Structure 1
Amino acid sequence: MKLFEGLFINNFEKVKFQDYAVFVRGLTYKKSEETQDLDGTPIIRADNILLNNSNLDLSNMKLINKNVNIPDNKKASKDDILMCISSGSKTHVGKIAYVNEDLNIPFGGFIAAIRTKSKLLNNKYLYYVLNSNIFKDHLSFSLNSTTINNINSHIINTLSFPLPPLELQNKIVEILDKFTEYSAELKAELKARDEQYRFYRDKLLSNNNLSNDINFFSKKLSEIAEINIGKQPSKEDISENGLYPYMNGGINKSSNAKNFNNIKNTIIVSQGGSNAGYVQWMYEDFYQGSHCYSLKVTSKQILNRFLFFYLKSNQDKIFNLVQGSGIPGLKKTSLSSLTVLIPSIRTQEKIVKVLDNFESICKDLNIGLPAEEAKRQQQYEYYRDAIFKYLETGIIDNKGIGERERERESGLIKIIEFIFNKTIYLIAKLSNCAQMSSGQFIKAQDRSEEFIYPFYNGGRNNSGYHNEYNREGENILISIRGVNAGATNYINDKFWLGNSCVSIQTNKEFDPLFIYFYLTNNINSLLISKDDGAIPAISMTDIRNIDIPIIPLHKQKEISTKIKSFYEFVNDLKLGLPKLIQLTQIQYEYYRDGIFKFLENKSNNTVK
């Protein structure tokens, strides 16, 4: 709680809700005034207030006849706090959402708008009070004395809460808003991860990719799997305390069952209802209801897990098989006729390996990111409630919540290469792979053999020494003008770079030695040498636009290590070709001289 210690100096008075805010019930309308006409007026209902994150979801609103009279005070305005005041479930009573903009949309009778009437109260501060244990405890005590899950004006008006100065309210709101924003970022990242996974999965299982396998073929679903419908359970079979999920056509379980009638690692498809056609994998034993298909692979030519991924990748096709204007339904004959593209078992195994690993990451994110989100929510709630606890009691709770980092996944290219054993390169401009900068001019008198830092200004060797350095670490050098224009060099040290050179420092995804060897092999094509005797030069723009192949970092290092080893071998007098040439020359001279000496001796013997 050190985060807040500086904010709290004095205890603060408690005030009554009714003295600082008003409670406005929503619009009451008749069932007959609801309409399907798109020209109708949308209305915010209790269902539009999300329970878990106190946000408004306006994607599914009912419509009422446009001739219904709607008072202005029953329309949601900026800085309103909307509260569910009546529900069949106690957990939903009291849930709230903050309105960040002028919606000008009416809210229904099961909702109330809470608005401040005093300039001494920050709307958002009141919102956080209503989200805290102060209000939850007050509401719990009030509702325990009645069997009706309803917040009336008496319950809300008798709420008391601490009211610090407005400046302090603003600081509290600013801090708690940060946690809310971070939670939203986590949800956005979870959504992005899920979209990334779906993108990779669908690309991997597209016809174009699967046809890369020369052994692929197609079959009807009924030719490779048995499709079975579930069983309607009895009342005795279903229990909220049951150990097994009861799956009956929805995305989520319908309830729990005491026993199971199907086993884990089974593919199921919703048969009827709004989610008809939805495919999912069961990770545990379950009770299969009468609106749920299960698939059992009967062919040795396809893996059960691969079939699941293929069906999920073709989810939209399965949805398109659903029929019915009333209650939608998926016929068994329609599902049976679905065509499945089947590659070799080896390719299936690779695809499953990739997607299972990726799915485990996404699954971890569904456990991990929401766990992260839950931690942030927990941290946010801790700070929020601790603030208000301190405002009430002056006691500071010093228990905090830890944090962790996450790493991102690699891209589609590596996955495709892994599965189909193909080398696929993307191309990027050098300017997107590295930072480039020109050197600086120094006078001749500023160079001396007595200084310690090499001075590079073109060519592969240094042009003297300087008493200062303007580069350090791994740098690739390119001479851009003069007789040595196009000469490249690799330096991993401190040195001074002259104005006839540029230095290149690669991003972390690229190996500097690999880029150096690649540029050495390709730089001469950029050299401009004019017939009129002008000084040869290389344009910085051309250097920035050099195409660089994007290959995995470990591959780059493997290539650069081999080239470096060969380069050292060739240029090392002890190990390389110069030494071999020297030894060969000695051997040649020995045999040459020996031959002539032999001939000479032979000749002398003959003369004798």
Structure 2
Amino acid sequence: MSSGNFLDKLLDGVAVEWIEVGELISPQRGRRLVKSQLEEVGSYAVYQNSMKPLGYYHKSNAQAGATFVIVAGAAGEIGFSDVAFWAADDVYFFPEANAVNNKYLYHFLLTKQHEISSQVRRTSVPRLSIAAVEKLKIPIPCPENPKKSLEIQAEIVRILDTFTELTTELTTELTTELTTELTTELNLRKKQYNHYRDQLLSFENGEVEWKTLGEVALDFGRGKSKHRPRNDEKLYGGDIPFIQTGDIRNAAHVITQYSQTYSELGLIQSKLWPKGTLCVTIAANIAETSILGFDACFPDSVIGFIANPEKTSSGYVEYLLSSLKTKLEEKGQGSAQSNINLGTFENLKLPFPSLAEQARIVAILDKFDALTTSLTEGLPCEIELRQKQYDYYRDLLLRFPKPTQAGECP
């Protein structure tokens, strides 16, 4: 579809004028509610500083079908509500106007999202001046004939809404179908992976040397968190990554993200482990393993293993321990909170073939791991593609000719 041909047919020769939003419609600022006034369930959603309702209230101050802009917190976010709602003081909403369709305004502002976001002041609480939105110029077809103008705007809205609904339906259907397919395929690949991993790591006595982790490590022991209480705020908020059991459980082979940091005081009472350290959980989530992608500290509920490169690698040991995960979990059952101790690993005898054979096994299992990871990433990519299709058609419908290219209003 040519954008020029489509718009020519839609406009049918009428003039298009680019007018500042503030000249067409005046945004109204919401009014603050105190927390005690909010209800968990109520008639009208309350929007304050995000697109997620802060709570509910028994009154509304913004009518159904209103476009609104958040100016603090999630500053620059654009919303539209099909039902009446309460706008708090960090929200500006646009009431009905004679010259512009409110949903048309919403779709147009979405095309200016990047421009609006660039005006947000990055302070402790990000803020946007509503004047940045009011100064944006919006294309108004046939402004001298409001009835004709609103008809054209409504038709553009109808097309975009239809496409939005279609995109939502397709995304929902796609999510359901792909989730089922990916889950089935993922389970199959995991079974294949586990089979080949266990087969590759199965050795007969006499074929290889059986050693403890301490015998093949440069450093091997529990993490440190000496300070009490452990939740002392002075320990946190610095620049030193602090890895916890959940970070290890959620990582895919290599830890690339963390949710907490230590301060200098936190570091002093702990221990900094280098990038490449194998982390093994011994409490809460037993025998979860992953390798540090950066220097980090961790508590005594995690074991650190630094491989002696002349004897083994962290990757090989991780695959060994993952093949024994079920047995290790069984050792930790029976207490209020499942856990195992360092001694379990200190006494564990594991097979260590030659370094060349270890490297070959790791290379094979890394490929299986990559295949599994590619499956889990497939769904988000498909959903993102659907969103890009919507953005394309929205921009196509709102790409009006310059004023000098337009005709006259009938």
Instruction: Give the TM interval when normalised to the shorter protein.
Output: 0.5 to 0.7
Residue 370 (structure 2) aligns with: 360
Q: Secondary structure at the match of 1:130?
A: helix
**Superposed CA RMSD:** 6.5
Report sequence identity in percent: 17
Closer/same/farther in 2, CA of residues 309 and 148 from structure 1, 3 Å limit: closer
Partner of 2:105: 126
Deviation of residue 181 (structure 1)? 5.8
Q: Which residue in 2 is equivalent to 1:94? A: 76
Residue equivalent to 1:16: 21
> What's the counterpart of residue 138 of structure 2?
161
How does 1:304-319 map onto structure 2 within 5 Å? Answer: 304-307=317-320, 309-310=322-323
Q: Distance in 2 between matches of 1:95 and 1:114?
A: 12
In structure 2, relative to structure 1, the CA distance for the partners of 1:278 and 1:194 (3 Å cut) is farther
Is 1:117 aligned to 2:96, yes or no? yes
Contact 1:210 / 1:341 at 8 angstroms: preserved in 2?
A: no
Q: Which residue of 1 aligns with 2:265?
A: none
* Aligned-pair CA distance for 1:263: 3.9
Residue 360 of structure 1, CA deviation: 1.9
Alpha-carbon distance change, 295 to 137 in structure 1, aligned in 2, over 3 angstroms: same
Question: Contact 1:21 / 1:116 at 8 angstroms: preserved in 2?
Answer: yes
Deviations 1:500-556 (A, max 9, x none): xxxxxxxxxxxxxxxxxxxxxxxxxxxxxxxxxxxxxxxxxxxxxxxxxxxxxxxxx
CA distance in 2, matches of 1:197, 1:315: 27
* Structure 2 residue ranges without an equivalent (≥5): 141-151, 226-234, 251-256, 263-271, 406-410
Q: Which residue does the alignment assign to 2:279?
A: 268
Is 1:72 the counterpart of 2:59? The answer is yes
Post-superposition shift, 1:159? 5.0
CA contact (8 A) 2:274 2:295 kept: yes
1:85 to 57, 63, 71: 71
Report the AA paired with residue 306 of structure 1. Answer: Y
Q: Which runs of 5+ in 1 are unaligned?
A: 50-55, 240-244, 397-608
Q: 1:248: which partner in 2?
A: 243
AA matched with 1:137: E
Deviations 1:415-471 (A, max 9, x none): xxxxxxxxxxxxxxxxxxxxxxxxxxxxxxxxxxxxxxxxxxxxxxxxxxxxxxxxx
For residue 253 of structure 1, what is the amino acid of its counterpart? Y
Summarize the Cα distance change of 1:47–1:19 in structure 2 as closer, same or farther, 3 Å threshold. Answer: closer
Per the alignment, do residues 214 and 304 of structure 1 end up closer, same or farther by CA in structure 2, a change over 3 Å counting?
closer
Tell me what 2:408 maps to: none
The match for 2:34 among 25, 28, 35 is: 28
**Structure 1 residues 108 and 379, CA gap change in structure 2 (3 angstroms):** same
Question: Counterpart in 2 of 1:7?
Answer: 7
Distance 1:393 1:340 in 2: 76
1:137 aligns with 2:148: no
What is the rounded CA distance, in whole Å, between the counterparts of 1:297 and 1:3 in structure 2?
61
Match of residue 400 from structure 2: 391
What letter matches 1:95 in structure 2?
A: E
SS at match of 1:268: strand
Q: Which amino acid aligns with 2:107?
A: Y
CA spacing shift, 1:150–1:352, aligned 2, 3 Å: same
More relative contact order, 1 or 2 (CA 8 Å, 6+ apart): 2
How many Å apart are 1:318 and its aligned residue? 11
AA paired with 2:118?
S
Contact 1:98 1:127 in 2 (8 A): yes
- Structure-2 separation of matches of 1:109 and 1:315: 53
1:372-407: per-residue Cα shift (whole Å, max 9, x none)? 65555555445544544x2374799xxxxxxxxxxx
Letter in 1 for 2:298: S
TM-score with structure 1 setting the length: 0.39
Residues 276, 196 of structure 1: CA spacing in aligned structure 2 closer, same or farther, 3 A cutoff? Answer: same
Per the TM alignment, residue 166 of structure 1 is displaced from its structure 2 partner at its CA by 1.1
Could you tell me which amino acid in structure 2 is paired with residue 360 of structure 1? A
SS of the aligned residue for 2:159 comes to helix
CA drift at 1:253: 3.3
Q: Secondary structure at the match of 2:319?
A: helix
Q: CA deviation at 1:4?
A: 6.4
SS at match of 1:7: helix
CA distance in 2, matches of 1:5, 1:224: 75
1:149 equivalent to 2:126? Answer yes
Mapping of residues 35-54 of structure 1, within 5 Å:
41=41, 49=51
State the Cα deviation string for residues 315-339 of structure 1 (Å, max 9, x = none): 9989999989xxxx97855985999
SS in 2 for 1:360: helix
Query: For residues 186-221 of structure 1, what are the alpha-carbon distances to aligned partners after superposition, in whole Å with 9 as ceiling and x for unaligned?
Result: 6667755763465236645889x979x99799x9x9
Distance 2:90 2:98 in 1: 24
CA contact (8 A) 1:22 1:117 kept: no
The one-letter amino acid of 1:140's match is S
SS at match of 1:288: coil
Q: Classify 1:305/1:293 alpha carbon distance in 2 versus 1 (closer, same or farther; 3 Å).
A: closer
Counterpart CA distance in 1 for 2:30 and 2:396 is 29
The one-letter code of the counterpart of 2:317 is N
8 A Cα contact 2:198 2:323, kept in partner:
no
For 1:2, the aligned partner's letter is S
1:446 is aligned to none
Letter of the aligned partner of 1:170 in structure 2?
Answer: R
How many residues in Structure 1 have an aligned counterpart in Structure 2?
Answer: 342
How far is 1:287 from its partner? 0.9
The letter for the 1-side match of 2:72 is S
SS at the partner of 1:165? helix
CA contact (8 A) 1:12 1:392 kept: no
Contact 2:331/2:340 (8 A) holds in 1: no
Question: In structure 1, what is the Cα distance between the partners aligned to 2:305 and 2:404?
Answer: 59
Give, in whole Å, the separation in 1 of the partners of 2:139 and 2:92: 21
User: What pairs with 1:57-68 in structure 2 (closer than 5 Å)?
Assistant: none
CA drift of 1:171 comes to 1.9
